[in-house]
């Protein structure tokens, strides 16, 4: 296929589906993470905020490094796919772990768990996201096609966020006799992360396998 021809919809949607995991992660981190550690687990808000602040700083260093590694990778799988495939399992497990800390941790134990797992989850996501976004510009040299791919990516990111903000509240954080405010239920957060984990894996694999040809 010429790089200037229109891409088939199967390829467009496969690629765009790769943004779905980012939508899930972003919504979970932005709307639940601080609340969970502060209001549910009792971590001091200053410590929780500090841990969540430090993690993106680490990403500011890791993002260009991963981008350079991906650009200069030469394998039978190409430049992007080795990193995308390698990120699947670590990203999923780390995302699950951040919402399932061991019981009995001290306040500083919770702080370090939050800091390490937040930074590690973001870094694992970097190993997928940076090659994934770079690949989008390589699927076509046609300006309109690239614009469409970017638009579809945004749609799937919103779908991932809505799945968390609407679906999670209906399924996992609904009110009960024990917890009129369902988001205060510690077990609900672990169940939410356990249910989200396979969705992260599926989204990454659809984008990777669906565009590999």
| Ranges of each domain in the chain | 34-211
**Residues 161/28, Cβ–Cβ less than 8 Å:** no
pTM of this prediction exceeds 0.85? yes
**Residues 42/114, Cβ–Cβ less than 8 Å:** no
The token pair at 125 is 């996501």
DSSP collapsed to 3 states, 154-197: HHHHHHHHHHHHHHHHHHCCCCCCCCCCHHHCHHHHHHHHHHHH
Q: In a structure prediction context, what are the per-residue pLDDT tens digits for the chain, which is 213 residues long?
A: 444 578 899 999 999 999 999 999 999 999 999 999 999 999 999 999 999 999 888 888 887 888 788 878 788 877 888 889 999 999 999 999 999 999 889 999 999 999 999 999 999 999 999 999 888 888 888 888 999 999 999 999 999 999 999 999 899 998 888 899 899 999 999 999 999 999 999 999 999 999 887
**Residues 161/29, Cβ–Cβ less than 8 Å:** no
- 142 φψ region: left (φ > 0), alpha (ψ -120 to 50), beta (else): beta
Which residues, including other chains, have CB under 8 Å from residue 173's CB and lie 6 or more apart? Answer: 182, 183, 185, 188, 192
Spatial distance between the Cα atoms of 83 and 73, rounded to a whole number of angstroms: 9
């Amino acid at each position: 296929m010429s790089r200037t021809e229109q891409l088939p919809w199967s390829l467009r949607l496969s690629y765009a589906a790769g943004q779905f995991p980012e939508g899930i992660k972003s919504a979970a981190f932005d709307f639940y993470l601080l609340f969970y550690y502060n209001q549910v687990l009792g971590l001091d808000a200053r410590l929780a905020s500090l841990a969540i602040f430090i993690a993106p700083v680490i990403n500011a260093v890791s993002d260009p490094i991963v981008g350079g590694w991906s650009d200069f990778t030469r394998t039978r799988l190409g430049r992007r796919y080795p990193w995308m495939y390698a990120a699947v399992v670590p990203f999923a497990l780390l995302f699950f772990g951040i919402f399932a800390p061991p019981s009995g941790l001290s306040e500083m134990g919770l702080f370090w768990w939050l800091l390490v797992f937040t930074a590690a989850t973001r870094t694992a996501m970097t190993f997928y996201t940076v090659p994934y976004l770079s690949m989008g510009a390589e699927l076509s040299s046609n300006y309109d096609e690239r614009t469409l791919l970017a638009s579809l990516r945004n749609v799937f990111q919103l779908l991932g966020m809505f799945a968390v903000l609407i679906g999670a509240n209906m399924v996992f954080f609904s009110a009960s006799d024990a917890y009129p405010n369902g988001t205060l239920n510690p077990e609900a957060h672990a169940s939410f992360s356990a249910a989200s984990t396979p969705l992260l894996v599926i989204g990454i694999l659809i984008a990777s396998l669906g565009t590999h040809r």
